Amino acid sequence: NDTGALDSIFAPKTTMISFDDGRLTLDSTDSDGKLVVDKINEVLKESFVSQKISTIDESDWQEALAQNGIYADYSVPVGVKPMMDFLGCEGPDQPLFDSFDRMVIVIGDGTKTSIPVYFRNSETGEHRSVITTFSKDNLLEFLSTYSTKPMLNLAYSFELNLDKKVEGEGQNHQKVILDPYILLPLDSMEMNSIKADYINVSENAEKILSVMGYNKNTVRRFTRTDTILFVDSKSTLTVGKNYIEYETSASQDGIRIGNDGNIATAAAGSASLIDKIISCFEVNGNTKLYISTPLTDEKKEEYILYFDYLYDAVPVSLNDHGCTVTVRDGCITHMKIFIRSFSEAEKLEESYALDVLEKVYGKVNRDIEINELIPGYEKQGDTYRKIWNATVDGDKIAVY
């Protein structure tokens, strides 16, 4: 049962293919999306070892986004060196740049045979261009398999000039401006609500013990209300009503996932175990876990990694992270997983992203800049409703 945790390591949260007649977004957790991520990684392996690198300005980056190609948004910073380690990429010990969170592979026009890759670091505002030797014919043939799929009417806010303040007299000025790289659906978006499916975690206690490497014949078992506690000489495992929690006091007694202190090893090893644990349960195929921790630190004594839930590629807001893992010296010393499965409850009225802008302004009642605008599921009574989340000055504003 593919729960998505391992697939999310060093993978973009969103991928998009741009054609002449439209754009196509793909969920990197489904089969088509995984193929696109695999192709992106093939190109990245060549770009990371290329010496043809240059610094570009923001207008070059925006021009690249407007061309045909593959765009990827990782949502969090990704370190080049850790990603090279994860992909098994042979290259220089010191990469030519440190990290990025967005990238685009540009097909270009018919006269050029080289494939350029553009990188953006949103935190620093830096942009890089790398020329690769990747086969253009290979990329065109790959993209042709997606060209017949239904296209979406999507535009970046900078393409609509919604990122620029237009002054006018009196009230005749643009009251809401957007971050240039908010991707807006210009057609209506289907809205719905989802419900949490019932899962009895404790019924699968013996499966969990096996996956976690416990000997069921020697581990001590204590039962409390809605909770089972397993204890051995090195660790404790709590199986609650809707969660499991593992803890050990000494790192050398933890669950060994690697022999080094690299973030790539910590993230991949943790995600692999998470997938195995959640596979003990019947989880809806649209319910996935996605890593939300920046993957930039190459060497640390301890990493704390967070994974959050998605339903049909849309974030689900819980009171806590879906999973928290602490890795020290190549061993998991603490892990807490909330076991969740979601399914659709009902269809709701369709929504237009551009209408949301007016609603955000109405809630704040002043001139604003929206830094982020994304759909998400928020708990409402017994269900989770899909809404728009707008980020203004670091604060999240929910729009129904």
Structure confidence at residue 256 (pLDDT): 94
Residues 6+ apart with CB under 8 A from 58: 125, 127
Per run of 10 residues, the mean pLDDT along the chain (length 400 residues) is: 87 94 88 93 94 95 95 95 91 86 86 86 95 93 93 94 76 80 94 96 92 92 91 94 91 87 93 95 94 87 95 94 95 96 96 91 89 95 96 91
Type of residue found at 34: K
Closest CA to 82 of 99, 96, 67, 105: 99
243 closest CA partner among 307, 322, 316, 337: 337
Give the integer Cα–Cα distance in Å for 253 and 36: 39
- Predicted confidence at residue 84, as pLDDT, reads 93
User: Helix/strand/coil (H, E, C) string of 138-174?
Assistant: HHHHHHHCCCCCCCECEEEHHHHCCCCCCCCCCCCCC
- Per-residue model confidence (pLDDT) at position 3: 85
d(CA 123, CA 355) in angstroms, rounded, equals 29
Would you call 189 helix, strand, or coil by DSSP?
strand
Nearest 10 degrees: Cα torsion 101, 102, 103, 104:
170
Neighbours of 199 (CB within 10 A): 16
The reported pLDDT for the residue numbered 351 is: 93
